[in-house]
Chain A
Amino acid sequence: MLGKLDWSAIPFDQPIPLIAGAVVLVGILAVLTWVVVKGHLPYLWHEWITSVDHKRIGVMYILLASVMLLRGGSDAIMMRIQQAIAYQSQGYLPPEHYNQIFSAHGTIMIFFVAMPFVIGLMNLVVPLQLGVRDVAFPTLNSVGFWLTATGALLVNLSLVIGEFARTGWLAFPPLSELSYSPGVGVDYYAWSLQISGVGTLVAGINLVTTVLKLRTKGMNYLRMPMFCWTTLASNLLIVAAFPILTATLAMLLLDRYLGFHFFTNEAGGNVMMFMNLIWAWGHPEVYILVLPAFGIFSEVVSTFSGKALFGYRSMVLATMAICVISFMVWLHHFFTMGAGPDVNAIFGIASMIIAVPTGVKIYNWLFTMYGGRIRFATPMLWAVGFMVTFILGGLTGVLVAVPPADFMLHNSMFLVAHFHNVIIGGVLFGAFAGFEYWFPKAFGFRLDERWGKLAFWFTFTGFYITFVPLYVAGMLGMTRRMQHYDVAEWRPWMIVAAVGMAVLSIGVICQIMQLVVSIRNREALRDRTGDPWDARSLEWATSSPPPVFNFAFHPDVRGEDAYWDMKIHARQQSLEHEELEYHDIEMPRNSPTGFVCAFFATIMGFALIWHIWWMVILGGIGAFATFVVFAWRDHDEYVIPAAEVAAIDRFNLEERRSLVSMAGVI
């Protein structure tokens, strides 16, 4: 009846996951009770859960990413403490638990923190920057988000019911095959990635279509803000690369469920094919994450330097070059696995070449700052911190792109330090910069600067104190993923890294404090102008938060930096009051499709993991029925009458006039 599921799935003998699970469960129940008792449930359902508004979906993506960041961060803290104390001892985490923690940490940080964070920011900002009212497929957008949430839910469920994979974040066979991982851990891993992978692919298709097909009047490709370009490149990579991941995991699942032999050691299977395919997805994946971050930094650096982006066209070219070259370097993840000098040399050279367009970008940002009037607001601090950190990470990356050096450093702590250096220094700093920068746009009030700066400095220094020791430990020969070790020279570095982790955690606490303090002082921090940073692109041309239809009129774009031009133009024309004629606006109706679909997908995923076949069929039928009901809907749009549009827009314009008159003077 319940497949492999019975009471032995609950880890009663392991206090750590059980207590963590209980605390989270109590927390969730408390929030739910509060929501129901206070009567917020209808509001949540109508305004958020069923919303197809790209801004709301973007916010929900970022919320998901933030919650998962805390989960992944807790795993990181546990690992750093374990390695600090596990010198000639077993530490406090038994090996099977430690292995689950590093696997869950990697999986969560890439798939359920970095991905939803950047997709959330793209969702929130790109339609506004393009001057349009929504993404190309609003309901599909909601489906994509909720499927990602399903994946995150399944990963978290594995904490309490069953176990997670002990195989590392990419589940290399033969370890991940049934003979070596008979438990449900790898199944949790694979099914949560398959389901959230569908969500990611859907988001990718949606955003590519949005950038290519929905742009306001005059918004040529070469007038799009840099963030739209990097969004395009990143989502093209999603569309091209994620099917490889899906196919590879599908083959692994066929091995595990139906006795196939794609990647087994026996019967003609080839484990090397898994490495090859997973990295053919895996390397584009890192550019999927970092390209949007590059876009965010371009916007931030240009805004806070008060200058147009230096070398806009070279930036576009560099972005698209990275988009293509990122598909030519994947072998550098397995130089040591015996492809031989010819193959290694070619991929090594390609890996060094891909650093060139990235270098172009760094110079462009530096030249944008050069001669500018730089304001060191929190987003700009993250951007400058990124440049310093990312150059260091990039240089160690070029170092390990040299095959002979890689033979020494492969799978060492040096490598661990390198990819954290680029992912934290690039993607996470970018996500935080974007969060600080666009928060006023999403919610209508700025974030507290004092706590924001504290958060930056603690995170920045904490990052170095944590990861520079890992570089050193790697040079001393320490390999990654060690549950305990006996080498005395490594010990001090592990202790320093644990101290760094504590400093990083203070940074995270500051970030939470910043949010709390800002929400309390929201009236004082209110942004009435819609343009708190004196910025340059179209998202700032509407109010904060924007009305559901974003723009009462489609903006008419006449050049790069569309909104900056409008401000200068408005000042020169001394703001003539022309009476505008408003029209009705049609907007897509909210739909529970995404939520219901993900509900059934969760049931199906859980049932697949535990081999509960009747429930698999039930979930599958439910998800398909949801799709059919949606496809047969009669009304998919509603009309906002012209009078309502006029009322909202006139109020916004009044609020804005004071600032616009100062444009270019500030």
Chain B
Amino acid sequence: MSDQTHMHVDHDIAPGDEEQHSVGGRALGYVVGLGLALLLTATSFFIAGTDLVWQPSIPVALIVLAVAQMGVHLVFFLHITTGPDNTNNVLALAFGLLVVFLVVGGTVWIMAHLNQNMPPMDQIMPMRS
């Protein structure tokens, strides 16, 4: 099968086939990623317990930090780039995000409507009286 690895029609790389960088360069990338990930994690813990910022902004800040964390993982650990060698990976990520958005968003929406339209019996009874 080894000859098939040379015959990709487009020059797309799979997760795990790194281009040949020097070990030092690659290690540096991982260290920077680890540093950023730790920084974002520490910030999240700090924000959650602090009273230095306006309290209602804390959930929003945590969401922003979580999204940034995902971004750091994608870039430094999973090596997702916007380059032409990464089309499949980016498309797979986009498809995954779309499906998760549809299923989770749809579920929340549907369940909210079901809960509103079909309350448990003990909550219907008082309305009749």
- Most chain-B CB neighbours within 10 Å: which of A220, A276, A637? A276
User: Is A441 part of the binding interface, using a Cβ–Cβ cutoff of 8 Å?
Assistant: no
A606 within 8 A of B: no
Tell me the smallest distance from the CB of B20 to a CB of chain A, in Å. Answer: 19
Q: Are B113 and A272 in contact (CB under 8 A)?
A: no
Q: Are B1 and A342 in contact (CB under 8 A)?
A: no
Q: Does B116 contact A (CB under 8 A)?
A: yes
Q: Mark B89-115, 1 if CB is under 8 A from A, else 0.
A: 000000110110011001101110110
Q: Is B107's CB under 8 angstroms from A212's CB?
A: no
A280 partner, pick from B3, B96, B106, B113, beta carbons under 8 A: B106
Among A70-127, those with CB < 8 Å from B are none
Q: Does B123 contact A (CB under 8 A)?
A: no
The CA of A169 and the CA of B107, in the complex, are separated in Å by 22
- B8 at interface (Cβ–Cβ under 8 A)? yes
Judged by a CB distance under 8 angstroms, whether B85 is at the interface is no
A159 contacts the other chain (CB 8 A): no
Contact at A218–B9, with CB atoms within 8 Å?
yes
Contact A236 B95, beta carbon cutoff 8 Å: yes
- A339 contacts B117, C-beta separation under 8 Å: yes
Across-interface contacts of A342 in B (CB, < 8 A): 113
Known contacts A327-B102, A328-B102, A337-B114; is-contact A276 B107 (Cβ 8 Å): yes
Which residue of chain B has the shortest Cβ distance to A323 in the bound complex? B95
The verdict on A56 contacting chain B, using a C-beta distance below 8 Å, is: no
Contact A213:B14 (CB < 8 A) given known A338-B118, A339-B110, A586-B1: yes
Q: Which residues of A contact B95 (CB under 8 A)?
A: 236, 240
- Which residues of A215-241 are within 8 A (CB) of B? 215-220, 236, 240
In the complex, whether A343 has a CB less than 8 A from a CB of chain B is yes
- List the A side residues contacting B12 at CB < 8 Å: 212-213
A132 touches B109 (CB 8 A): no
Known A-B contacts A213-B12, A217-B9, A220-B9; the reply to A330 vs B116 at CB < 8 A is no
Separation of A220 and B12 alpha carbons in the complex (Å): 13
Docked CA distance A327–B88 (Å): 21
- The 0/1 profile, CB within 8 Å of B marked 1, for residues 594-637 of chain A is 00000000000000000000000000000000000000000001
- Chain B residues contacting A401 (CB-CB under 8 Å) are none
- B9 engages A219 (CB within 8 Å): yes
Q: Do the beta carbons of B1 and A276 come within 8 Å of each other?
A: no
**Which of A240, A327, A338 contacts B117, CB < 8 Å?**
A338
Give every chain A residue within 8 A of B116 (Cβ-Cβ): 340
Q: Name the interface residues of A329-364: CB closer than 8 Å to any CB of B.
A: 330-331, 337-340, 342-343
Q: Is B4 close to A, CB under 8 A?
A: yes
| B114 adjacent to A240 (CB under 8 Å) | no
CB < 8 Å neighbour of B1 from A277, A340, A637 = A637
Q: Indicate whether B2 reaches chain A with its CB closer than 8 angstroms.
A: yes
Q: Which residues of chain A are near B99, meaning CB under 8 Å?
A: 240, 327
In the complex, what residues of A have CB within 8 A of residue B14's CB? Answer: 209, 213
Check if B7 is an interface residue, CB within 8 A of chain A: yes
A327 contacts across to B, CB distance below 8 A: 98-99, 102-103
Q: A554 within 8 Å of B by Cβ?
A: yes
* A307 part of interface (Cβ distance < 8 Å): no
Which A residue's beta carbon lies closest to that of B17? A213
CB distance from B115 to the nearest CB of A (A): 8
- Distance in angstroms between the alpha carbons of A387 and B106 in the assembled complex: 33
Residues of B within 8 A of A340 (CB): 113, 116-117
Interface residues on A, range: 35 or more
Contact A132/B114 with A212-B88, A277-B107, A280-B106 known, Cβ cut-off 8 Å: no
- Give the shortest distance, in Å, between B95 (CB) and chain A (any CB): 7
- Give chain A interface residues in 315-330, CB to chain B under 8 Å: 324, 327-328, 330
Query: A330 near B106 (CB under 8 angstroms)?
Result: yes
List residues 1-60 of chain B with CB under 8 A from any CB of chain A.
Answer: 1-4, 7-9, 12, 14
Q: How far in angstroms is the closest Cβ of chain A from B96?
A: 7
Query: In the complex, what's the smallest C-beta–C-beta distance from A192 to chain B, in angstroms?
Result: 24
| Cα separation A588 to B1 with both chains bound (whole Å) | 7
Which residues of A lie under 8 Å from residue B107 when comparing CB positions? 273, 276-277, 280
Contacts of A637 in B (CB 8 A): 1-2
- Which of A134, A218, A244, A339 touches B114 (beta carbons < 8 Å)? A339
Q: Give chain A residues whose Cβ lies under 8 Å from the Cβ of B9.
A: 215, 217-220
The reply on A509 being an interface residue by CB < 8 A is: no
Please determine whether A343 and B103 come into contact, CB atoms closer than 8 angstroms.
no
Q: Check: A587 CB closer than 8 A to any chain B CB.
A: yes
Tell whether A133 pairs with B1 under 8 Å between CB atoms, given A220-B9, A280-B107.
Answer: yes
Indicate which residue in A217, A236, A276 contacts B111 across the interface (CB closer than 8 Å). Answer: A276
Given contacts A217-B9, A337-B114, contact A280 B1 (CB under 8 A): no
A212 CA to B88 CA, complexed, in Å? 8
* B94 nearest CB across to chain A (Å): 11
A327→B111 CA distance, assembly (Å):
17
In the assembled complex, the Cα of A330 lies from the Cα of B96 at a distance in Å of 17
A134 pairs with B1, CB closer than 8 A: yes
- A155-170: which residues lie under 8 A (CB-CB) from chain B? none
**A213-B12, A273-B111, A331-B110 known; A280-B103 Cβ under 8 A:** yes
Which A256-295 residues have C-beta < 8 A from chain B? 270, 272-273, 276-277, 280
Which residues of B are in contact with A by a Cβ distance under 8 Å?
1-4, 7-9, 12, 14, 88, 95-96, 98-99, 102-103, 106-107, 109-111, 113-114, 116-118
Interface residues of A (CB under 8 A from B): 132-134, 209, 212-220, 236, 240, 244, 270, 272-273, 276-277, 280, 324, 327-328, 330-331, 337-340, 342-343, 554, 586-588, 637
What are 21 residue pairs bridging A and B, where the CB atoms are less than 8 Å apart in the complex? A133-B1, A215-B7, A217-B7, A217-B9, A218-B9, A219-B9, A220-B9, A236-B95, A240-B96, A240-B99, A272-B111, A273-B107, A276-B107, A276-B111, A280-B103, A324-B98, A327-B98, A331-B106, A337-B114, A338-B117, A554-B3
17 more A-B residue pairs beyond the given contacts A218-B9, A273-B107, with a C-beta to C-beta distance below 8 A = A133-B4, A134-B1, A212-B12, A216-B7, A219-B9, A240-B96, A240-B99, A327-B99, A327-B102, A328-B102, A330-B106, A339-B117, A340-B117, A343-B109, A554-B3, A586-B1, A637-B1
